A and B are shown apart, each in its own frame.
Chain A
Amino acid sequence: MTMDNDINPTSVDPEANATDATGAATERSAFQRLMTVTVGPIVAAFLLSAIILLLVGINPLTYYGYILERSLFSGLGLEQTATRMAPLLFLCASLIIAFRAGIWNLGTDGQFLLGAVVAAATAPLLVGVLPGWAVLLVGFALAAIVGAIWSIIPALLKAYQGVNEIITTLMMSFLGVLLASTLVKLAFRDPATTVPQTRTLPVEDRLPRLFDTTISSGLVWGLVAVLLVHLMMTRTSFGLRLRMVGANPAAATHAGLSVPLLTLATFGLSAGFAGLSGASEILGVAGNVRANWNPAYGLMVIPLVFLARFHGVGAIVLVFFYSALLIGSESAARRLGVPQDFTLVLVASLLICLGLGEYIDHHKRKKER
């Protein structure tokens, strides 16, 4: 949590540093830091993956070329990348609230899926009953509420008994994932299909697409959510209260804040945004939930939020590249006959190298002091 107020490495602005008293020296070290914590690790990760690709007999340049071409330089790929960002952004919003308030909500997958199932169960039934915008609004609202409800047990245990939420949210997440699947199979199953899945929201009733593209407008809402959450946490009194509870609960009590109530609020908001994320995927892209569907976006986003140091803009940038990587490597893998799972190898080496970069940077700074 000490990184709380550090400048986000990906948005280091040379001008901001120039105002510093020690001008040139800081600028150089800021550049060095940028190299150690961001650029260096990314290059290293691609080199590492390249070695592995060479070992299995694939030309890494072709592979990386496909990734870039498919995810960023082709119109359709770029649209897919942008669409994929939407649920990830809502999850970033969820995690930024939680992590900044010192709550390790690792149960976003359960909250996400239950939100998704509830949205998928209600929205198709409301089509025709309510106007289109209201259908979507109800779907999102219900998803947020259900996501928040799924965090009540860990929230109460944390707020009043001090039970470690890392354990409880993870456990509730497993239950949530299974419950979501059960609900699809037993309660919300579409009688018209043979495979267990919910009723499908017709494409014209989903979130509108942006202009003439296939990009879901969920992207816009996701961006708005992350930016709003970022401003809430950094610029409002409520955000400062949450951050204070996260940074030092004893000081918060001393200053007269109700730590249990603020803890409950953190859980509610964080899990609510996780629910919204589920709804954005269903109401924007998928239209229905198939049984056993679990993209596990929640766990994917955690390292991104950490690397962005809980900073909204940093998280958006990282989510963009991450989505591009997901989309691009999916098709690259298909074309070159590399297993689909190679994406994970690339992502894993990226995370490891970024982590190592942090570690080296931390040690360097320690030495400087």
Chain B
Amino acid sequence: MSVALATETPTNLSPQKGAGVIGVHGVTKRFPGVIAVNNVSLTIHPGEVHVLLGENGAGKSTLVGILAGLQEPDEGYLSLKGQKTRLASPSASLDAGISTVFQHSMLVPTLTVLENLTLGAPWHERPPRVAIAARMEELKRDFALSLPLDAITGELSLGQQQQIEIARALLRDSKVLILDEATSMLTPQGAEELGARMQKLVQSGLAVIFITHKLAEAYRFGNRISVLKQGALAGEMGPEELKGMSEDQAIDEIVRLMFGREAGATSIEHRTSTARAETVLKVADLSTQGDSNVMGLENISLELKTGEILGVAGIDGNGQKQLAEALAGQRALTGGRVELDGEDISRASVAQRRRNGLRYLTDDRLSEGSVGAFPISENTVLKDIGQPPFWVNGIERPQRIAQHARDLIKKFSVRTPGETTPIGRLSGGNIQKVLLGRELSGEARVVVFNKPTYGLDLQNIDASRQRIAEIAGNGLGVMLISTDLDELMALSDRIAVMEGGRIRGIVENDGTGEALRLRIGRMMAGEEEHKQATA
């Protein structure tokens, strides 16, 4: 089958040039409050490893979901060999010859390899063990896939489990193989092997779609690279173009596509600094424990002055949230110290830190910041439970809480029918206003914002940014964690770049615009900074 495919490839391509094996035509997919994929068009060619590159939330997974038949596009359509088609279910996608290896294993760990390979076959047939064994021999020869058929799947390494999924796709005679973040759980050596295997697969005539957020892999393993940014296609680099570039040149170009300003975007005015001389927050050698799901922090050191906005840039999931939690006291430190106004608060509880003026506005408004079923009034005081004047000797004073909530609603222009409305019924922007009001009540000294404008509409984004600038103007120290470089460059005095749980560098926001943006982009991608620019 694979041989047949290889020979028919050229004839398939020539009559309808550029049709490819799958076409994605102007696909848009919306979720409540977000456009996950925005008018994306792609062509997947047989014989190519097509890399989809982008940050978390850039729309890669949604696109994979659409190709795998898990989701259907709201607008636009898919085509197979030039024919418009619908992939309404995972089985439709499989029938169309598209196999997906998801980031997280889709195997049954307690079954044997053979059983996993035959899952999904008609129930009345006996597993064709002999036939499968013969095919596996072929696969072993052609693609170096060696799998013990009778081993229990859960006892194999993650790399081998991934091979099972690839083998399963090949046994189905798939024409397109999608590998979603396939290297994220592999050792560097395993990743290299996968890269080599992908090249063998495409040489046999398959099309491989390889999703990653690692720039170097994209260049080394890919024949064609498409960069997604905030759901839209930011650019594409074809095979000829890529061949003509060195790795450095290619990565520079990718960085430009991923982090560069898109043409036509309105420029945001750079805020004039309100930083003063006095240091309000000092973090020295802070480290936290990581595990397989949570990034650990290593030797984070930074200082924040009153009136200053320190931006924290980085691709989502590189330890920014852990840093915010460690500062707020929600995450235990394994080393280092945190000083607020010269006082060591490394061992202080969340409540003590809050009373000392350290405030943390979480990025997870719904599941961490608020209790959706509780009324707005209670949500405004959730971080002050038991404190006067809202509680006296442990007894609630509903009138005072309601008054406080009404004041907050007015001051931060929260749009709500009243303070008794459950907060879960408000829009994201209005919840954000309530939470901001909660963090700013009392004597705040430092506010840590984690992605404060994420998921808000334009008007609320502007209002939030203005408020952040005002807060710094009032002499508070602001740490602004954001994945939006435009936002950071508009507001920050300095920008720290996080990657892999470390700070890769801290740069002055000197208004050098595009050059600075690319420098930050390279650090975000984990590339060591070539120029010694750390301030």
Contact = CB atoms under 8 A, between A and B. Distances in A.
Interface of A: 1-2, 4-5, 21, 235-238, 240-241, 243-244, 247-248, 250-251, 253-257
Contacts of A251: 367-371, 382
B304 interface: no
Contact of A238 (B351, B362, B368, B394): B394
B368 A244 contact: no
B370 to A, nearest CB: 6
B330 interface: yes
B367 A248 contact: yes
Contacts of B374: 4-5, 243-244, 247
Contacts of A241: 385-386
Contacts of B417: 21
B350 A247 contact: no
Given A5-B375, A253-B330, A256-B350, A237 B369 contact: no
Contacts of B386: 237-238, 241
A31 to B, nearest CB: 22
B285 to A, nearest CB: 24
Contact of B371 (A238, A247, A256): A247
B367 A244 contact: no
B373 interface: yes
Contact of B373 (A1, A21, A255, A257): A1
State which size class the interface on B falls in.
20 to 34
A233 to B, nearest CB: 11
Nearest to B353: A256
Contacts of A4: 373-374
Contacts of B396: 235-237, 240
A256 B362 CA distance: 13
Contacts of B372: 247-248
B418 to A, nearest CB: 9
13 contacts: A236-B391, A237-B391, A237-B395, A238-B394, A247-B374, A248-B367, A248-B370, A250-B364, A250-B368, A251-B368, A254-B350, A254-B362, A255-B382
Given A236-B396, A237-B385, A248-B367, A256 B349 contact: yes
A254 B369 CA distance: 7
Given A5-B374, A5-B375, A236-B394, A254 B349 contact: no
B58 to A, nearest CB: 26
B422 to A, nearest CB: 7
A235 B395 contact: yes
B307 interface: no
Nearest to B364: A250
B367 A250 contact: yes
B378 interface: yes
Contact of A248 (B354, B371, B394): B371
Contacts of B371: 244, 247-248, 251
Contact of B385 (A1, A2, A21, A240): A240
Interface string B314-330: 00000000000000111
B244 to A, nearest CB: 50
Given A237-B391, A253-B330, A244 B382 contact: yes
Contacts of B391: 236-237
A136 to B, nearest CB: 28
A295 B372 CA distance: 39
B383 interface: yes
Q: Which 8 residue pairs of A and B lie closest in terms of their CB atoms, listed nearest first?
A: A256-B350, A237-B386, A256-B351, A237-B391, A248-B371, A250-B368, A247-B371, A255-B383
Interface string B339-369: 0000000000111001000001010100111
A236 B417 CA distance: 26
Contacts of A257: 385
Contacts of B394: 236-238
B329 A256 contact: yes
B383 A256 contact: yes
B395 A255 contact: no
A235 B372 CA distance: 19
B449 to A, nearest CB: 14
Interface string B278-290: 0000000000000
Contacts of A255: 350, 382-383, 385
Which of A5, A251, A257 has the most C-beta atoms of chain B within 10 angstroms of its own C-beta?
A251
Nearest to B384: A255
A251 B370 CA distance: 6
Contacts of B378: 240
Nearest to A236: B394
B395 A2 contact: no
A236 B391 CA distance: 8
A235 B330 CA distance: 27
Contact of A5 (B351, B354, B362, B373): B373
Nearest to A254: B368
A1 B422 CA distance: 13
A5 B368 contact: no
Which of B374, B378, B386, B422 counts the most A-chain CB atoms under 10 A from its CB?
B374
A247 B394 CA distance: 20
A298 B374 CA distance: 29
A12 to B, nearest CB: 16
A2 B350 CA distance: 27
A253 B364 CA distance: 13
A347 B373 CA distance: 31
A243 B396 CA distance: 14
A21 B386 CA distance: 32
B9 to A, nearest CB: 51
A303 B519 CA distance: 63
Nearest to B418: A21
Interface in B418-440: 422
B259 to A, nearest CB: 30
Nearest to B425: A369
A244 B354 CA distance: 18
Contacts of B395: 235-237
Nearest to B397: A235
A251 B369 CA distance: 6
Contacts of A253: 330, 368
Contacts of A256: 329-330, 349-351, 354, 383
A265 to B, nearest CB: 14
